[in-house]
Amino acid sequence: MADSDVKAMTADLEVPSFEVAAFTSPVKLSEAKVAIVTSASLHHPDDDGFSPGDVGYRVLESNKRDYVLGHWSPNFDATGFALDINTVFPIDRLDELAARGVIGSVSDIHLAYAGNQFELSAIRMDSGPAGAKFLNEQGVDIVLLTPV
Amino acid sequence: MATIALGSVKNQIKNTAPPRGLWCDFPLGRPLGVPQNAEFQHQVLAAAFSLLDSKQTVFKEYDIAIKDEGTEVMACTLPPRHDPEAHPAVDEANGLRPAYERALAKYGNRIGAGRTISSDQIGEAIESFIRVAKGTPWKEAGVPGIPARVSQDIRGYYETAALALSDHAPAAWAGTRWFLDHTEAGKVVLSARQAMADAGEKQPIWFYMVPGDR
């Protein structure tokens, strides 16, 4: 068993195509509020976990570092996250960048989705735009998207 | 809002064509590359944020790759037999409980048991898979949940315990290979999965009990 073997299983997976990329130029990085959106199914222990096929999102708070990896796919290594949440969700690194003035600030709120989806229409049409609207309302300028 | 997407699978990140995509050839589950290495993670983030300089959609490959050759295995000393009456896998799981608790105290329960079964149910779950491996249909074997989800909790329990038995950050997949190939519980899970496949159970029920290449 090797990582390349697992990746090879996805080689022929069809991916969505977009006629137009949602390209937006942000404010200067040193003035930008940055949030993370991850497809790693992270959630806080007291929140509802992700069910298989869950197309919703969970809100992750910056000041609670008790994130749980709720992803149901067995096809990735989880020990990296177990040792260091930043392997998937680089919240400490963003804090350090904000302290150094590289980025403006770190959002208090981040989002997690379940990436192991075969039917994406609900995320594309509903929970995806809803999550983007929510982050926009928080004044987020830049989103870093991380998988597992 | 501007977005920057990290991707671990080249075809996926390239073909999806996000506004700004950075393919990092790192093992699945480690999009920032190396756990407990802040400098490496900062380098990845610097490359990601540099994509903001582009005035149009951009896809780049990170210049450092981390390859998993499929050979590294965590070196964890398994507990000696304690209860000769118990199945070796159940005895093993019980013996790993102190290590599991130490890992929870150090890191928190980030990937361990608790989603479908609790840590107290690990032994019971393994016993049910032993019955499945011997031919009992899974619905009659007392499996405390959907087999694929139960096996994820067993794997999480073992991989969490392993972190307390190792003195360094393991390579990606080294914990999974240890669990599946070097523990009694891993053998039970693989045997139960094979028995379910042979019995013609629905593929999603057993296939996702372990990584799909197994």
Residue B167 confidence (pLDDT): 83
ipTM surpasses 0.90: yes
**Taking CA atoms, what residue in B is nearest to A44?**
B110
Residue A13's pLDDT is what?
Answer: 83
pLDDT at residue A120 tops 90: no
Contacts of A49 in chain B (CB under 8 A): 115
Give contacts of B18 with chain A, Cβ < 8 Å. 21, 145
pLDDT at A12: 78
Q: Where does residue A79 rank: exposed (0-12), middle (13-18), buried (19+ CB within 10 A)?
A: buried
- CA atoms of A144 and B7, how far apart (whole Å): 11
Where does the pLDDT of residue A53 fall: very low under 50, low under 70, confident under 90, or very high at 90 and above? Answer: confident
Tell me if B160 sits within 8 A of B112, measured CB to CB: yes
Q: Which chain B residue has the Cα nearest residue A11?
A: B11
* Average pLDDT of the residues of chain A: 94
Minimal Cβ distance to B49: which of A5, A23, A29: A29
Give the 3-state secondary structure percentages of chain B, helix then strand then coil, rounded to 5. Answer: 50, 5, 45
From first to last of the 214 residues of chain B, give the pLDDT tens digit. Answer: 999 999 999 999 999 899 999 999 999 999 999 999 999 999 999 999 999 999 999 999 999 999 998 999 998 889 889 999 999 999 999 999 999 999 999 999 999 999 999 999 999 999 999 999 999 999 999 999 999 999 999 999 999 999 999 988 899 999 999 999 999 999 999 999 999 999 999 998 999 999 998 8
Nearest to A80 among B30, B109, B160 (CB): B30
- Say if residue A11's pLDDT is above 90: no
Closest-CA distance, A81 to chain B, in angstroms, reads: 7
* pTM, entire model: 0.96
Which of B76, B109, B90 is closest to B175 using CA atoms?
B76
**What pLDDT digit, counting tens, does each position of A79-94 carry?**
999 999 999 999 999 9
| A93: closest chain B residue by CA | B42
Which chain B residues touch A87 with a CB distance below 8 Å? 29-35, 41
Q: What is the pLDDT of residue A62?
A: 97
